[in-house]
Amino acid sequence: MIELLKPTRQTVLLRTNPAIKLVLFVALCLVTVLTRNIDFAAYQALTYTVLLFAFGGFPVRKTLLLVLPFGFLFVSSSMTMILFGKGDTLWWQWGLFRISEESFYRGLHLGFRSIAFAAEGLLFVSTTPSVKLFYALMQNFRLAPRFAYSFMASIRLLPMVWEEFLIRRQALQVRGITVRGKGLRGMAEHVRLYAVPLLSQSIRRAHRVAVAMEAKQFDGGGKRTYYYPSNVSWTDAAAVLLLALAPCAAYAAAVVFPWFGIADVRYHS
Amino acid sequence: MNHVLQAEKRKGLRLSDLLVTILLSLALGVVYHFWSSVYDLFKPLFFQADELVYGVWFLAPTLAMLLIRKPGVALLAEVAAAHVEILFGSEWGVQLVLYSVAQGLAAELVFALLRYRSFKMGTAAFAGAAAALGSFAVDVYFGYVTDYTLGMMLFKYVLRIISSAILAGYLAFALAKALEATGVTQLLRPVTQKDYEALDHD
């Protein structure tokens, strides 16, 4: 899974300092959170999806595959609001379902925003190897090394947990153990057979690795050197410009070519 | 003996606490990631039935806290679990960071109010329910859920809180108990002065 999401294309965003990029993406996320205008939300969804194709770390075909679930995401995040939202201009009512003009547009707005979030997230993940991110956070933002190295070591240990899961499953098969009971009881049985051994084994392993890392002073607070130096360069200025222009362009488009023309989708009685 | 006393003095998070918390949460994060499909399976059962399994997404903070029993662990656990989801390219994207911080903080708050001394089932259930309330707080701001019709909103969130108290509270407690029975928690909570004194009496 981690291998699958490894960036394969070189873009401006891939060369950007990951710590700076994280700040930029949190800022973009906040802009999206604060958006109340439906057109702005729609154009943000569009802009970030285009950016994902243009500057994401994956080839177009793979990006297309990742973008496909956006349609489902749109429906699932907008449907509840469309069917059950408050609103005065009633369009259709059947039992509990109640679609009004306001709730319909509010639902669409939520859908667009979900797509914007998803595209932002994918754009960040597809251009940021996590090891680089933690090295940059340690050097540029003074994240305590014990946090950063714990994360990096845990990510490396994760595939072992998966391997252990497969071994456990085979072991249970060899012993001819079948899960008794269906529904909730079956689920509890699954938890007992899998979760307890897997979790206890990962606690043991994490503890062993931690003891070794402590011995090698990975938790030390003193001065240290880093295998991957993390610098700030002109590429970062380009990335700042690109990611600042994107929401501005979306906003301009929303002002000049509005689709729906609703400035605030929240309910006002 | 001296060494033991020193270990007890250092109440902060040591590297091994961090590593155990994070690995545990990352493993649960993988469960979180695939839980979306279970969540979707529950959807057709009855309306908003998916909320019944929502509590699994708050499992990391309570379970980690019940095992490690140190301040800050619940918040760290939820953020670490969300990190996996983002790493795997979750469709929910960066908003998960906000959710995880709110949920983790809410669960942390319950343990903090009890001064990190109570690790009973009830406490875990309250922490799970608090995490659900944390997600509600973000939802209000984010998803305008107060703009749902009132009955609908109450139904949705009461289901979620119940599910969280059961899954993130009871299930986490049962898991922690089962893990204690295997003896691994002795690695996390080394012997204290009190244990030595208990031996001195006879």
pLDDT in tens, B91-133: 777 788 889 999 999 999 999 999 898 899 999 999 999 999 9
Look at residue B201 in the predicted model and tell me its pLDDT: 62
Query: Where are chain A's structural domains?
Result: 12-132+232-256, 145-215
Are the CB atoms for A28 and A119 separated by under 8 Å?
Answer: no
- Which of the 8 DSSP states describes residue A179? -
Which run of H or E residues covers position A11? Answer: none
User: Rounded to an integer, what distance in angstroms lies between the CA atom of residue A223 and that of residue A74?
Assistant: 48
For residue A117, the chain B residues in CB contact (below 8 A) are: 92-95
Nearest 10 degrees: CA dihedral of A164, A170, A175, A176?
Answer: 130
Report the 10 Å Cβ neighbour count for A168. Answer: 15
Q: Do B92 and A117 touch (CB under 8 A)?
A: yes
Q: In which band, very low, low, confident or very high, does the pLDDT at A224 lie, cut at 50, 70 and 90?
A: confident
For residue A200, the chain B residues in CB contact (below 8 A) are: 179, 182, 184
User: Rounded to an integer, what distance in angstroms lies between the CA atom of residue A202 and that of residue A215?
Assistant: 20
How does DSSP assign A215-229, residue by residue? Answer: HTTTT--S----SS-
Average pLDDT over residues B58-62: 94
Q: In which band, very low, low, confident or very high, does the pLDDT at B44 lie, cut at 50, 70 and 90?
A: confident
pLDDT in tens, A170-204: 999 999 888 777 777 777 788 888 999 999 999 99
Question: Mean pLDDT score of chain A, rounded to an integer?
Answer: 87
User: Rounded to an integer, what distance in angstroms lies between the CA atom of residue B67 and that of residue B178?
Assistant: 11
Q: Which amino acid is at B75?
A: L
For residue A213, the chain B residues in CB contact (below 8 A) are: 15, 19
Highest-confidence range of A70-74, A177-181, A216-220, B70-74, by mean pLDDT? B70-74
Q: Decide if B98 touches A, using CB distance below 8 A.
A: yes
pLDDT in tens, A5-30: 777 788 888 889 999 999 999 899 88
User: Rounded to an integer, what distance in angstroms lies between the CA atom of residue B138 and that of residue B17?
Assistant: 29
Average pLDDT over residues A124-137: 90
Taking Cα atoms as reference points, which of A47, A246, A221 lies closest to residue A142? A221
Q: Do A213 and B24 touch (CB under 8 A)?
A: no
Which run of H or E residues covers position B120? Answer: none
Look at residue B9 in the predicted model and tell me its pLDDT: 46
**In degrees rounded to 5, what are phi and psi of residue A78?**
-105, -20
pLDDT above 50 (res B5): no
Average pLDDT over residues A50-77: 88
Residue A27's closest chain B neighbor by CA? B94
Which run of H or E residues covers position A196? Answer: helix A196-215
Report the 10 Å Cβ neighbour count for A59. Answer: 11
Question: Mean pLDDT score of chain B, rounded to an integer?
Answer: 85
Choose, out of B15, B88, B180, the residue to mutate when testing the contact with A (most A CBs < 10 Å).
B15
Closest Cβ opposite residue A267 in set B30, B94, B147 = B147
Taking Cα atoms as reference points, which of A217, A201, A193 lies closest to residue A157? A201
Query: Where are chain B's structural domains?
Result: 12-183
Choose, out of A51, A52, A154, A193, the residue to mutate when testing the contact with B (most B CBs < 10 Å).
A154
Taking Cα atoms as reference points, which of B127, B130, B131 lies closest to residue B116? B127
For residue B27, the chain A residues in CB contact (below 8 A) are: 158, 161, 198-199, 202
Q: Do B23 and A154 touch (CB under 8 A)?
A: yes
User: Rounded to an integer, what distance in angstroms lies between the CA atom of residue A78 and that of residue A97?
Assistant: 14
How far is CA B31 from its chain centroid?
Answer: 13
- Where are the extended beta strands (E) located within A28-173? 90-94, 97-100
Which run of H or E residues covers position B174? Answer: helix B172-182
Closest Cβ opposite residue B19 in set A126, A154, A265 = A154
Three-state SS for A94?
strand
Q: Which amino acid is at B55?
A: G
pLDDT above 60 (res B10): no
Are the CB atoms for A51 and A246 separated by under 8 Å?
Answer: yes
User: Rounded to an integer, what distance in angstroms lies between the CA atom of residue A137 and that of residue A89?
Assistant: 50
Are the CB atoms for B87 and A114 separated by under 8 Å?
Answer: no
Taking Cα atoms as reference points, which of A46, A26, A55, A37 lies closest to residue A249? A46
